[in-house]
Amino acid sequence: MVAGHTGDRATAGRGLTDPSPAVREAALGALDRLGVLENDGIVHALEDTDPSVRRRAAELAATRPDIPLDQALADRAPMVVEMAAWALGERAGPAAVPVLVALADRFAGHRDPLCRESAVAALGAIGDPSGLDAVVAALDDKPAIRRRAAAALAAFDDLRAETALRSCLADRDWQVRQIAEDLLSLEGEDTVTGGAGTSVDGNG
């Protein structure tokens, strides 16, 4: 970790093959901080024997759209899948929507709620219309996922999204209701101001 702050590329590089997973994970971050981490290094780390290293690699892949994350999305460790879904959301590419939709499905998707939650959040970050149905469906999942889905609805300019958000006002979880109230309140303010800080009649 110190090597990443002091410009010691050699020490950071040696860390990639250290027996300790914690050191390998730290080495990835150090090399990335130095701006010398190659894509091949991340791809190799995505195949590491330790899930913490694979998770860190998936995180770093968020800014490198050329690195495929299919393997990470099918990882046996939920923590890796969760991070891979987050990374796809950060990339904001619509091509990732189908796999995220499949991951977010309450019944046929990932068994781990955190992975489904991450997928829903990524769909909201991308905001592609083809992901809306999955986000709406997530409103029937566990509370944490419903909260994430309610927040994600703000990304979609679609009457179905507004209708779904209004249904959240009756959710049994108070945080879901609060998110819906806040978003609908903001939406109302945009209507009054025309979304540009002035009133619709031009007198504001």
pLDDT at residue 69 in the model: 98
- pLDDT tens string, the chain, 204 residues long: the values are 888 888 889 999 999 999 999 999 999 999 999 999 999 999 999 999 999 999 999 999 999 999 999 999 999 999 999 999 999 999 999 999 999 999 999 999 999 999 999 999 999 999 999 999 999 999 999 999 999 999 999 999 999 999 999 999 999 999 999 999 999 998 765 544 444 443 333 333
- Residues 154, 181: contact at Cβ < 8 Å? no
Can you read off the two tokens belonging to residue 175? 């945080």
CA atoms within 13 A on the CB side of 99: 19
pLDDT at residue 203 in the model: 38
Instruction: Indicate the pTM of the whole model.
Output: 0.88
The 8-class DSSP code of residue 37 comes to -
Nearest-5° Cα angle at 73, 68 to 76: 130
Q: At 105, phi and psi to the nearest 5?
A: -60, 130
Amino acid at 139: L
The Cα 116–Cα 201 span in angstroms is 44
- Residues 179, 149: contact at Cβ < 8 Å? no
pLDDT at residue 169 in the model: 97
pLDDT at residue 198 in the model: 35
Taken in order of first residue, the domains within the chain and their CATH numbers are: 1-68 (no CATH), 75-191 (1.25.10.10)
pLDDT at residue 1 in the model: 80
